[in-house]
Structure formats: C-alpha cells, structure tokens
Amino acid sequence: MSSTNPSGDVKAGTLVTTWRTVQKLDADAWRKLRDDAPYRFIRWLCALGVIIGAWDVLGTPDHTSAWLPVAAIVLLLLLPDASSIAFAGIRFQARQAADQAAAEAIGKIELHFTVARETGVAAGDSALAQEAPPQPAEKALSGLQ
Amino acid sequence: MRAAGRRRHLSAAQHNLGSVTTEPADTEPEDEDSGVLVSQIVLRKIHEMTTPGVAGSVARAILSIPEDQGKPIPLRVPGDTPGTTYRVLLPDSAQAPAVIYRKLSPHDDHKWLVTALMDRDAYLAYSGGLADSQLVQDVAGTVALGTITASDALSRRSQR
C-alpha cells in the first residue's frame, strides 16, 4: 500500500529552498556586500545613533543593566566588522579572517614544497654531475661571457 | 692571477735553446687550466636560458669560482661520501639561478666541479631557514632519488 503525501513534498521543497537561500547568504557576493565601505559606515552610524538615542531617552541610567539592550544592539551592528572576538574562552573568528589565515597557511606549505622540489632537483643533478664527462669551464663557457 | 700564471707557463713551454725545445714535465693541455669543470646537465641548462644576459652572468660566476669562494649549502646528495661540502655562488644578475659546486678529490686534475643550478628564490628561502625543516629535507630527498631514477631509466632506454 503506497501513499503519497503532497504536504510532505511541499515541506521538503521549502526546506531545500531555505537551505539554498542560507548558502547564498554565505556566498562571496554577500560577504563583499557586507564588507563594502558604505554599508560598514552605515552600521557605524546606526550604532552611534542607537547610543545617542538611548542616552536621550533613558538619561543617565541608575543601573548598568539598563544599558544592556543598547549594548547588545551596538554589538550586533558592529559584529560583522570584527575579525575575531574572544570572550570567556569562546573565540569567534570572522570568515574573512579565517580565509586569510588559511591562505597564509597554504602559501607557507606551497613555499615549503617549491623549495623542497628545487633543492631535490639540485641534489639529484649533483649526484649525476659526473655521469657524463664534465667539460672545462673556460672552454665550455667561452662564448657566453 | 690564474691567467698570468698560464702566460708564464706557455712562455716556458715555448722557450728555444738553439734547435732544442725545452718543456716542463708537468705540462697540461691548455683547456684544462681553468680548474673548474662543469657538468653536462648544468651546461645544457645554461644553453637553454633565453633571458638576455642571464647565461653570461652564470658563466662569469662559474669562471670566478676559485677566487670567489661561495657560501656552504647543506645539500644531501644521494651517493656522496660523508663530509662532501657543497658551496653556492650567486651570479650578478638577479634573474640568474644560484650556482652549486663542490671540490673535487685531490687526485683529480681540476679543483672544482659545478654540479647544479638552483632557482635563486628557492635557494634564498632554503638558506634563510627552510634548510632546517624536516619536511623540506624529506621531500627534497624523495625528489633527488626520483631525479636519479628517472635519469637511470632514460639512459637504459637509450642504450637499447
């Protein structure tokens, strides 16, 4: 007995669409948009506006806790600009900084292998240097100086 | 200094006493006076250089070897006797590769053998600290053995 569930298919389709949308948010284009100067400046302005507005509305607060919501909003606004945040043993590293660190690590590994390859070829050539009879330098290089 | 020595050497060889020509007993062929031998691999690489001035720069560096003592390079060459020391000279052209050479045995007529050319940037990185890296030494050893094996295979194929 086979049964089809149209509502289940619709839910699965919605989930897939949502997942693809989330993937798009993580794309390079989105990151570029996030890091562009105008948007960064707008975020800074918004953070400043929130602080000034809150000060105007709340006045000088009696307790520090009264500023917690303001601090939370400002933090959320500035979070995309932070390369890394470490708090209470938890480290948040922005994607851009992580990519940069990964690129540096790959560059180092690449340099190691390039140098190793060139050194290996030089060592191999040195081992084979007398396989064929070497030539006196003055005679062999006379036309090149 | 070496050239002057050769001139003195030739004049002694050509000195005539009437009909008798005297020659020193240790006369060497003229083309062996440089004291430096260059391997066929290095010569092929030099002749393949296309950038103007680079081959000449390498040639000048090679011909300056006895006077211009290079820096030692820690090179692990398969099959070498323990204690074999390699030295490096950097030619005057910034695009030219480093010249690697070693001293020949005292029984040899020549003093030096140019064994390899090495990419200049790679040499600078190697001598700048990467020579101490175990990863670099391991990979270099593998590549060296591969180079030797490939050469052996080619020579065997050409002999058939």
Which residue in B63, B53, B56 sits closest to B89, CA to CA? B63
pTM comes to 0.60
Asked if residue B71 and residue B54 are part of one domain, the reply reads yes
Tell me whether residues B116 and A126 touch, CB distance under 8 A: yes
- Tell me whether residues A113 and B139 touch, CB distance under 8 A: yes
Segments forming the whole domain that contains residue B17: 1-32
Among A125, A136, A144, the residue with its CB nearest the CB of B37 is: A136
Domain match, A65 and A117 both: no
CB within 8 Å: B125 and A115: yes
Would residue A64 count as lying in a domain?
A: yes
Whether residues A124 and B155 touch (CB distance < 8 A) is answered with no
Residue A135 included in any domain: no
State yes or no: pLDDT of A121 exceeds 60. yes
Q: Inform me whether the pLDDT recorded for A1 exceeds 60.
A: no
Q: Among all residues of chain B, which has the CA nearest to that of A110?
A: B136
How far is residue B85 from each of residues A9, B104, B121, measured CA to CA in Å? 74, 10, 21
Same structural domain, A113 and A70: no
Q: State the Cα–Cα distance between residues A94 and A73, nearest whole angstrom.
A: 18
Residue A3 in any domain: the answer is: no
B54 neighbors B84 (Cβ within 8 angstroms): no
Q: What is the pLDDT of residues B72-93, one digit of tens each?
A: 999 999 988 888 899 999 999 9
Confidence band of B9 (pLDDT split at 50, 70, 90): very low
Domain that holds residue A29: 11-81
Q: What distance in Å separates residue B125's CA from the closest CA in chain A?
A: 7
Same domain for A63 and A118:
no
Are both A70 and A19 inside the same structural domain?
A: yes
Residues B18 and B71 in one domain: no
Which residues partner with B20 through β-bridges? B17
Same-domain status, B23 and B90: no
Across chain A, mean pLDDT equals: 80
Same structural domain for residues A45 and A66? Answer: yes
Residue A118 CB: number of other CB atoms within 10 A?
Answer: 24
Number of domains in chain A: 2
| pLDDT at residue B92 in the model | 93
Q: What is the number of structural domains in chain B?
A: 2
**DSSP 8-state symbol, B8:** H
Asked if B88 and B113 count as a contact pair (C-beta separation under 8 A), the reply is: no
Contact B56 A145 (CB under 8 A): yes
My answer on whether B77 and B7 are in the same domain is no
Interface-testing mutation among A109, A115, A117, with chain B (most B C-beta atoms within 10 A): A115
Query: Which chain B residues are closer than 8 Å to A135 by Cβ?
Result: 37-38, 40, 43
Letter for the amino acid at A45? L
Contact A131 B155 (CB under 8 A): yes
